[in-house]
Chain A
Amino acid sequence: NAGVTQTPKFQVLKTGQSMTLQCAQDMNHEYMSWYRQDPGMGLRLIHYSVGAGITDQGEVPNGYNVSRSTTEDFPLRLLSAAPSQTSVYFCASSPPRLNEQFFGPGTRLTVL
C-alpha cells in the first residue's frame, strides 16, 4: 500500500493563478480531508468528504473547491491563488468509526 499520496511536493504560484493539489489513497477509506498548516496555528480543516459524491466545508473553506468523484481521489482546487494561501497542505484519509487519520506527506505552496 502506498497509503496517502500527494502531488506536487512543492509549488510556486503567482497571485491569480489556479491549480489543483492532488490527493489519492489506496486503503479504500471513506473519509478524506484537506488541512492547511501555518506556523503557530496548527492544522485547520479546509474541506472534508465522508464518501464519493459527498463533500462539506471545514473551518477555512473560502478560496478552495473540492470534489469527490471516486473513493480514491480527493483533489483540492485553488481557483485564484492569493498570498494568504501560502501554506503547507495536508490530505488525510480515515476509515469510518475508527477515525484514526492517515496523512499524506504534504504540499508546500507559495503564492507570490
Chain B
Amino acid sequence: SQKIEQNSEALNIQEGKTATLTCNYTNYSPAYLQWYRQDPGRGPVFLLLIRENEKEKRKERLKVTFDTTLKQSLFHITASQPADSATYLCALGTGNTGKLIFGQGTTLQVKP
C-alpha cells in the first residue's frame, strides 16, 4: 500500500543552524510533492511545490529537493529562527485532481 514517512521524532536545533526534514514514500509515483507548515490549533499553510521533473526548488530561506529514484524529498530551512518552530507536513499528489496524501508531519523546535 502507499506509504509516506516523515521523521516521527521532533527535531530540535539551535537558532541560526540549518534544519533538514525528510519525507520518504513507497509504492507511489507522485507527479508532485508539496510541503506545508502547521502551527498548533491552525490549518496547514502551503510553503512549496516541486514537480517530479524538478530536482530542487528554493523560496527565500527554504529549499526542497525531490529524488524520485530514492523516493525521497528533503526540506531545508537555512538560518533557522525560533519563529520557524512548527510542524511541517509533506504531501504527494498525482494529476490535477487536487487529491493529496499527507505524511504524519515532523515537529521542528528552534531554540534561541
Binding site for B on A (CB under 8 A): 4, 31-33, 35, 40-45, 48, 50, 58-59, 90, 92, 94, 96-106
Contacts and interface: CB of A to CB of B under 8 A. Distances in A.
Q: Is the interface of A mostly helix, strand, loop or mixed?
A: strand
15 contacts: A31-B98, A42-B4, A42-B104, A45-B100, A94-B98, A96-B96, A97-B96, A99-B32, A99-B98, A99-B100, A101-B34, A101-B98, A101-B100, A103-B45, A105-B42
B28 interface: no
B101 A100 contact: no
A35 B97 CA distance: 15
Given A48-B97, A99-B96, A43 B102 contact: yes
A33 B97 CA distance: 10
Interface in B30-63: 32, 34, 36, 41-46, 49
Interface in B81-112: 89, 91, 93, 96-105
Q: Which of A32, A35, A100, A104 has the most CB of B within 10 A?
A: A100
Nearest to B31: A99
Interface of B: 4, 6, 8, 32, 34, 36, 41-46, 49, 89, 91, 93, 96-105
Contact of A100 (B34, B42, B104): B34
Contacts of A101: 34, 36, 44, 46, 98, 100
Contacts of A96: 96, 98
Contacts of B43: 4, 90, 92, 103-106
B3 to A, nearest CB: 11
